[in-house]
């Protein structure tokens, strides 16, 4: 018996009538790309995968599923790192994949907005903005395959949050299919709209648990005319925080990216990613990857960054620095940062953390938290890197040899790591979301009133509990 046989009689025919027969996938082999996440950490089983091509089709599909009481799993590019975009193992849920909905509906250059459907791949959105002489600042490693609907649903971060903010800051309006199939048209390109509750904010970062985002009005920004990137060698995370303050004071709003990279990251990337090289003759314990954007000429921007790094060196904040003189050199420097997750994957299993603390406490998190983990788990290898400019650190750990029960070990590592994050007033998820991975942990790190309010919102919008059931909140 196939999983689709678990659906109520006639429901498959209704779904096929809504989207077309070839856009309803019931064969398990054909479903494979839609039922497992890209890391292979989560694998479910779907009664069907439905691929609507319009908002009307999404509404018809959701209406039919809601009336039948069938669980709905919204899905975009399926690049979730927390299991939010795949079905559970029951075989009773239906995946609603929005990849066919990839149109750019409108570009309003005078309003600096672009209206796109949820299935638009992030890199394509960036390219369309550039074609119109504009810039869309959301940038992350998966931009060649992730889709804007998923970015919105997870409130994705990336490397330019320091200057432009998270996805939330880029969204002016949304179109959403609610859990009962009604369509909320909030596609307003307004910077000011003080007419009550800002409903779009409910769906940004909700991981598809309150409705399906089908389209969005997004902000466009002036295209940077000049970009300058440098890798600075530093002694410690404490020095990195001081360097960030110095660059903010000397470079102002031009400072777009500020990433911290531990020595372990460089070693992993050079070892596992072909073509990668260390730009310095001597190894250093820590590095800061710095990037400036400006509307003027590139040479003055490079001079400004070089001068600022020189001043930092005089203050003892920087031991050495390499300033990119070409786009190829810029890409090589960013490769040391962006290829770290892939290098970790090749190296072997590691416990991954996507956490945030106030920027002023990032050094404490890395240094004191690292010592706490090393004391609790002798032989642990810690790999720390991430967006220090906005307090988001990817703080990962490789187990020592001889660990018999890796799952139990990982649970204990998470417990100690999240205790350190909470002690410093941080969050257990900065940009990846909760999904299934951190759902049970969330109850230990959110206040009872916060959880009560979240559940009240969920009940109000999805009283049947059909929209991405089992994600974010415990059943």
Co-location of 127 and 230 in the same domain:
no
Residue 250 lies in a domain: yes
How many domains does the chain contain in total?
4
Please state, in angstroms and rounded to a whole number, the distance separating the CA atoms of residues 75 and 94: 10
Q: With bands split at pLDDT 50, 70 and 90, how would you rate the model's confidence at 197?
A: very high
Do residues 327 and 362 both lie within one domain? no
Query: Do both 297 and 392 map to the same domain?
Result: no
- Tell me: pLDDT of 161 over 90: yes
215 lies in the same domain as 128: yes
Per the CB < 8 A criterion, the answer to whether 265 and 338 are in contact is no
Q: Is 377 left (phi over 0), alpha (psi -120 to 50) or beta?
A: beta
Give the whole-angstrom CA distance, residue 232 versus residue 319.
7
Tell how far CA 431 is from the center of its chain: 5
Residues sharing a CB contact under 8 Å with residue 189, sequence separation 6 or more, in sequence order? 108, 111, 113, 115, 172, 173, 217
User: What is the average pLDDT value for the chain, to the nearest integer?
Assistant: 95
Alpha-helical segments (H) within 48-97: 55-68
Segments forming the whole domain that contains residue 427: 352-432
Residue-wise pLDDT for 315-338, tens only, equals 999 999 999 999 999 999 999 999
- Indicate whether 215 and 238 sit together in one domain: no
User: Which parts of 75-147 fold into alpha helices (H)?
Assistant: 122-131
Select from 205, 206, 132 the least CA-distant residue to 170: 205
Gap between the Cα atoms of 288 and 319, Å rounded = 11
Q: What is the CA radius of gyration of the chain?
A: 23
366 & 300 share domain: no
Q: Which of 169-178, 282-291, 345-354 has the lowest mean pLDDT?
A: 345-354
Asked if 302 and 317 sit in the same domain, the reply is yes
Asked if 108 and 216 sit in the same domain, the reply is yes
Last residue of a domain, one of 432, 449, 466: 432
User: To the nearest whole percent, how much of the chain has pLDDT over 70?
Assistant: 100
359 within some domain: yes
Residue 245 backbone dihedrals phi, psi, to 5 degrees: -60, -40
Tell the burial category of 35 from Cβ atoms under 10 Å away from its Cβ (0-12, 13-18, 19+).
buried
Is the same domain home to 21 and 84?
yes
Taking only the tens place, the pLDDT of each residue in 233-254 is 999 999 999 999 999 999 999 9
d(CA 343, CA 341): 5
Closest CA to 226 of 325, 313, 299: 299
Residue 419 sits in a domain whose CATH number is 3.30.70.2740
pLDDT at 435 over 80: yes
Q: What is the pLDDT of residue 1?
A: 56
Across residues 463-473, what is the average pLDDT?
Answer: 97
215: nearest Cα among 179, 186, 182 = 186
Same domain, 51 and 70: yes
pLDDT category at 475 given cuts 50, 70, 90 is confident
Query: Residue 2: pLDDT above 80?
Result: no
**CATH label of the domain that carries residue 175:** 3.30.465.10
Do the Cβ atoms of 60 and 103 come closer than 8 Å?
Answer: no
Q: Are 109 and 131 in contact, with CB atoms under 8 Å apart?
A: no
**CATH number of the domain residue 271 falls in:** 3.30.70.2190
Q: What is the pLDDT of residue 269?
A: 97
User: End of a domain among 286, 321, 341?
Assistant: 341
Greatest CA separation for the chain: 75
Triad 379, 281, 230: Cα angle to 5°: 90
Residue 470, SS3 per DSSP: coil
Residue 41 binned pLDDT confidence (cut-offs 50, 70, 90)? confident
Domain boundary, last residue among 196, 222, 248: 222
User: Does residue 347 sit within a domain?
Assistant: no
* H or E element at residue 336: helix 327-338
What is the bridge-based pairing of β-strands 72-75 and 46-50?
A: unpaired
Quick one: how far is CA 238 from the chain centroid? Answer: 26
**Residue 130 domain flag:** yes
pLDDT-derived band at 75 (thresholds 50, 70, 90) equals very high
pTM for this one? 0.93
Residue 472 forms part of a structural domain: no
| 38 is a domain residue | yes
Residue 447 lies in a domain: no
Predicted pLDDT at 6: 78
Q: What is the mean pLDDT of residues 179-199?
A: 97
pLDDT band at 165 (very low <50, low <70, confident <90, very high): very high
Beta strands in 306-458 (DSSP E): 320-323, 354-356, 381-387, 392-398
Tokens of 198: 């800002």
pLDDT of 328 reads 96
| Strand segments (E) across 153-225 | 171-177, 183-186, 212-219, 221-222
Are 70 and 123 part of one and the same domain?
no
Do residues 95 and 35 touch, judged by C-beta distance below 8 A? yes
Look at residue 88 and tell me whether its pLDDT is greater than 70: yes
Burial code (b: 16+ CB inside 10 Å, e: under 16) for 146-160 equals bbbbbbbbbbbbbbb
Structure tokens at 336: 């040391």
State how far the Cα of 267 lies from the Cα of 271, in Å rounded to an integer.
6
Domain-located, residue 243: yes
User: Poorest-confidence range of 1-5, 269-273, 285-289, 445-449?
Assistant: 1-5
How much is the pLDDT for 383? 95
- Averaged over 468-475, what is the pLDDT? 94
% pLDDT > 90, the chain: 93
């Amino acid at each position: 018996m196939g999983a689709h046989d678990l659906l109520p009689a006639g429901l498959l025919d209704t779904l096929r009538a809504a989207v077309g027969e070839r856009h309803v996938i019931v064969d398990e082999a054909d479903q494979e790309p839609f039922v497992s996440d890209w890391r292979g950490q989560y694998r479910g089983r779907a009664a069907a995968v439905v691929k609507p091509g319009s908002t009307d089709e999404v509404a018809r599909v959701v209406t039919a599923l809601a009336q039948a009481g069938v669980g709905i799993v919204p899905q975009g590019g399926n690049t979730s790192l927390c299991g939010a975009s795949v079905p559970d193992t029951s075989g009773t849920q239906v995946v609603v994949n929005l990849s066919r909905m990839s149109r750019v509906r409108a570009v309003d250059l005078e309003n600096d907005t672009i209206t796109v459907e949820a299935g638009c791949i992030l890199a394509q959105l960036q390219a369309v903005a550039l074609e119109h002489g504009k810039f869309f600042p959301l940038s992350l490693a998966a931009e060649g395959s992730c889709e804007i609907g998923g970015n919105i649903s997870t409130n994705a971060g990336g490397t330019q949050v320091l200057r432009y903010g998270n996805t939330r800051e880029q969204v002016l309006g949304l179109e959403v299919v609610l859990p009962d199939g009604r369509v909320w048209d909030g596609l307003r390109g307004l910077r000011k709209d003080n007419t009550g509750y800002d409903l779009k904010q409910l769906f940004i970062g909700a991981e598809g648990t309150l409705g399906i985002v089908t389209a969005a009005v997004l902000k466009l920004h002036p295209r940077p005319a000049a970009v300058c990137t440098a890798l600075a060698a530093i002694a410690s995370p404490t020095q990195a925080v001081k360097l960030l303050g110095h660059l903010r004071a000397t470079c102002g709003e031009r400072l777009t990216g500020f990433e911290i990279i531990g020595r372990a990251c460089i070693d992993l990337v050079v070892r596992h990613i072909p073509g990668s090289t260390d730009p310095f003759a001597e190894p250093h314990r820590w590095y800061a990857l710095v990037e400036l954007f400006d509307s003027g000429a590139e040479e003055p921007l490079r001079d400004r960054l070089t001068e600022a790094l020189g001043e930092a060196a005089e203050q003892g904040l920087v031991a050495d620095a390499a300033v990119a003189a070409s786009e190829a050199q810029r890409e090589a420097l960013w490769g040391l940062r962006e290829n770290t997750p892939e290098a970790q994957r090749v190296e072997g299993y590691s416990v991954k953390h996507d956490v945030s603390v106030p920027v002023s406490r990032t050094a404490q998190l890395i240094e004191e938290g690292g010592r706490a983990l090393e004391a609790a788990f002798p032989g642990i290898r810690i790999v720390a890197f991430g967006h220090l400019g906005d307090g988001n650190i990817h703080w990962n750990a490789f187990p020592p040899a001889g660990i018999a029960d890796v799952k139990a070990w990982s649970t204990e590592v998470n417990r100690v790591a999240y205790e350190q994050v909470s002690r410093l007033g941080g969050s257990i998820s900065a940009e990846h979301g909760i999904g299934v991975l951190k759902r049970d942990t969330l109850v230990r790190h959110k206040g009872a009133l916060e959880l009560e309010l979240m559940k009240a919102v969920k009940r109000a919008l999805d009283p049947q509990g059909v929209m991405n059931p089992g994600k974010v909140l415990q059943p």
